[in-house]
């Protein structure tokens, strides 16, 4: 995997401010392999729970209201399991936006295991995406989408991350204004056998102040969580599961 190794080294170099050691690159791939094996175990029915961290007030608030929301997450740690756990643990209908690729088999197996509560909206089918989102929200479901890769994002903005102003998808907040739904950003961290800890942002709720004012609040909301995410990466660098080029520096 020469391409992925190169991207791992690039990320670790930026994070540490020096060339990574061989052992650090190894730990990066080893952590990802452990997570893939966990996904297969959960798909096979092995019990696994998500517990809210002390700083997950926005997620607690969302669960208390029972309101559907837009769930933003990142390729970090156990984050890819949070939508599945939310569906089965909390009995909430979740529609996960995913890209269908050649190695999506583990995702599809997980989908079958959690099918009572979790469905997929495939971003590859772009011509149907907005209609599928509307149908999911009208049906009372929460929509989960990743907020770190640019491939299919129609809206991007620059934020401070890893020492530079980097471009990130910002579509989730535009959807929040269109559909009048709250946004919560969340990630999952390993917390021992059978357990993930979920961290979240406060709840972002669109109000009547107008589009410009809401988007200004949204930028602050996203930046605050990105700053927390960077602190998590500096504590546990191996949990960044983006084996792709880093988010580009804004012009």
pLDDT band at 21 (very low <50, low <70, confident <90, very high): very high
CB-based contact 176:218 (threshold 8 Å): yes
Does residue 154 surpass a pLDDT of 80?
Answer: no
Averaged pLDDT, 12-21 = 95
Tell me which of 6-10, 52-56, 69-73, 123-127 is least confident: 123-127
pLDDT tens per residue across span 118-149: 777 776 655 567 777 778 878 878 888 889 98
Taking only the tens place, the pLDDT of each residue in 163-181 is 999 999 998 999 999 889 9
Its sign, for the CA torsion 64, 201, 41, 142, is positive
Supply the pLDDT for residue 166.
97
Separation CA 119–CA 137 (nearest Å): 12
16-25, 133-142, 153-162, 224-233, range with the lowest pLDDT? 133-142
Per-residue confidence (pLDDT) for residue 209, from 0 to 100: 87
pTM exceeding the 0.85 threshold for the entire prediction = yes
Compute CA distances 134 → 14, 47, 208, 245, whole Å. 39, 32, 21, 32
């Amino acid at each position: 995997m020469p391409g992925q190794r190169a991207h791992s080294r690039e990320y670790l170099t930026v994070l540490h401010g020096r060339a990574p050691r061989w052992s650090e690159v190894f730990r990066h791939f080893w952590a990802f392999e452990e997570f893939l094996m966990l996904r297969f175990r959960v798909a096979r029915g092995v019990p696994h729970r998500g517990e809210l961290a002390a700083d997950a007030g926005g997620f607690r608030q969302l669960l208390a209201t029972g309101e559907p929301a837009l769930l933003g997450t990142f390729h970090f740690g156990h984050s890819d399991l949070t939508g599945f756990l939310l569906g089965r643990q909390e009995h909430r209908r979740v529609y996960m936006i995913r890209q269908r690729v050649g190695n999506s088999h583990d995702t599809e197996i997980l989908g079958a295991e959690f099918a009572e509560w979790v469905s997929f909206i495939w971003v590859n089918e772009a011509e149907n995406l907005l209609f599928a989102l509307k149908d999911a929200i009208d049906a009372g479901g929460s929509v989960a989408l990743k907020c770190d890769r640019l491939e299919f994002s129609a809206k991007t903005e620059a934020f401070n991350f890893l020492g530079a102003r980097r471009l990130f998808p910002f579509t989730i907040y535009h959807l929040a204004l269109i559909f009048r739904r709250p946004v919560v950003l969340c990630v999952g961290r390993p917390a021992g056998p059978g357990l993930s800890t979920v961290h979240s942002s406060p709840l972002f709720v669109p109000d009547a102040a107008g589009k410009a004012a809401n988007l200004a609040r949204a930028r602050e909301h996203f930046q605050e969580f990105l700053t927390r995410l960077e602190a998590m990466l500096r504590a546990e660098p191996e949990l960044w599961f983006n084996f792709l080029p880093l988010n580009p520096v804004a012009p």
